Amino acid sequence: MSNTMDRYILAIDFGTSKIACAAAVKTENGVKISAYREAPSEGGIARGEIVNILKTVRITSKLISQIKEETGEDIKDVIAGVSGTYLKTLTQSNKRTRKRNDDLISEEEVNALTEEIMNFKVDADEAIIHVLPQYYNIDELYGEIDPVGMPGNEIEGIYKLAIGKKRVLTNIDMTLEKLGLKPGQILLKSIASSISSLTDDEREIGTVLIDIGAGTTELAIVKDGIIRHVAIIPFGGKSVTDDICSAFGISSHYAEKIKIKYGSCFSDFITSDTKEIHITNTDKRIPVKTLSLVIEARMVEILEAVKYEISKSGIQDELPGGIVITGGGAQIMHLPGLIKNLFGISPRTSFPTKYTVDEGSCEDIFQYEASSIVGLALSGIEHMPEENGCPESDTVPESETPGQSDENTQEEHDNPDNRNQDGEKTDNKQKKNIFKNFVSKIFEDNGEV
């Protein structure tokens, strides 16, 4: 195994509104984000999918040059986030009869089962992005999370396949090649955000992660440390901005400004029917209440789609961790109130903190918009390939499992005792090894484009 303590990985988030790059390196205290740069995508990316490769290469190339100049490193290892408007999930099983029931099930056996599922036939324009192991049945024992070391006549794996459009992966591949980078790890951005935004307890007991971006809203449901469901909803913050443009006949520039400054997504919280916003250099006056109704209509549509995806997961009644929201859209005014009104529970907002990454990381990553790229960096470091291109061990050391537990008030920034959500004191370096099935299994079998 190679020593990754001094090796950097480059994480790239191809977002609808902006492209972000980050350089990460493993330290004694976890993972340090040493450099972070972002720039507007300038139309090169639409709803999470690269549509103009040359434009995307031009923007990303400048960011990478800045990253390399700041770190002084010629970074070769890469992890890229995957999104887009199309993502479907299928549940499939694979069964094997074993030659000897007294031979203990090996990790190689489990991996071989998963590799066979990778050959599942999809449509010509589709590709399997991830194979997500759910559980295993060993003879009459059902629902085993980790079958390694068990005896049995028969082993059956139950998997969830995340399937996207082949062109999405091809365009990422082509972009990286034109940047002079070897295509490496890929990860759905919803999974990445769940890595940086959920606590260990939330991953274990069952929680819904919602990442509201500019072009899409990403969903990941995690329980028992396992990704149980993923989805992409093809609407996000830009959809809200576009609605404001259409409703009031103003430019996207002004629509974005008033959305951020005055926009509420829950009109019940707007008590004044007379307050208006004057658009500079025009005669237009927009009632704040009307603005809120426009925003609310789109956000309700997005959240109803989230509710539908939660019901599709089949475990909607087994998620005591509730809802965690992140991404740039999580900052929209009164969103927690709207979610409570629609779902009956109060969500937690989350973004990377000094408890997620090494506190020496650059300040720019401590924001809602950085959840996905920080998750990409954390996962990329944990699955850093060896020099010959083979992935490192598929287990995650307990002391290196990333965790996060910030509250709406961001109180954990000032939490020197590192207490959990129940006020109990915890040791940040003694994390439970719940990532074994959570992320490691993804890269075992699908670590490259």
Which has more confidence, 447 or 74? 74
Mean pLDDT (whole number) for 113-119? 93
Task: Take residue 267 and report the two structure tokens written for it.
Answer: 């009109």
Tell me the average pLDDT of the chain: 87
Burial 151-177 (b: 16+ CB within 10 A, else e): ebeebbbbbbbbbbbebbbebbebbbe
Helix (H) or strand (E) holding 176: helix 166-178
CA separation for the pair 321, 209 (Å, rounded): 10
CA separation for the pair 231, 305 (Å, rounded): 10
CA separation for the pair 157, 236 (Å, rounded): 35
Task: Take residue 133 and report the two structure tokens written for it.
Answer: 């192991």
Handedness of CA 355, 378, 364, 9 (dihedral sign): positive
**29 closest CA partner among 298, 304, 381, 339:** 381
What pLDDT is recorded for position 380? 94
User: pTM of this prediction?
Assistant: 0.84
Mean pLDDT (whole number) for 225-231? 97
Beta strands in 83-125 (DSSP E): 87-97
Q: Which domains, ranges and CATH numbers included, belong to the chain?
A: 87-163 (3.30.1490.110)
CA separation for the pair 362, 20 (Å, rounded): 14
DSSP assignment of 193-256:
HHHHHS-HHHHHH-EEEEEE-SS-EEEEEEETTEEEEEEEES--HHHHHHHHHHHHT--HHHHH
What pLDDT is recorded for position 442? 52
Give the whole-number percent of the chain exceeding pLDDT 90. 76
- Percent of residues in the chain assigned helix, strand, coil, to nearest 5: 35, 25, 40
Angle at 323 between CA 403 and CA 348, to 5 degrees: 65
Examine the pLDDT at 391 and tell me if it is beyond 50: no
Examine the pLDDT at 325 and tell me if it is beyond 70: yes
Would you call 407 helix, strand, or coil by DSSP?
coil
Residues forming a β-bridge with 157? 94, 136
Helix (H) or strand (E) holding 35: strand 30-40
List Cα–Cα distances, 414 to 71, 407, 410, 419, in angstroms.
29, 11, 8, 11
Query: Are the beta carbons of 217 and 241 closer than 8 angstroms?
Result: no
Mean pLDDT (whole number) for 205-230? 97
- Residue 381 burial (CB count, 10 A): 27
What pLDDT is recorded for position 128? 96
Mean pLDDT (whole number) for 138-150? 95
Which has more confidence, 439 or 434? 439
Which has more confidence, 439 or 299? 299
What pLDDT is recorded for position 403? 39
CA separation for the pair 39, 61 (Å, rounded): 11
Mean pLDDT (whole number) for 191-210? 97
Residue 138 φ then ψ, to 5°: -115, 105
| pLDDT tens readout for residues 330-353 | 999 999 999 999 999 999 999 998
Least confident of 149-158, 191-200, 356-365: 356-365
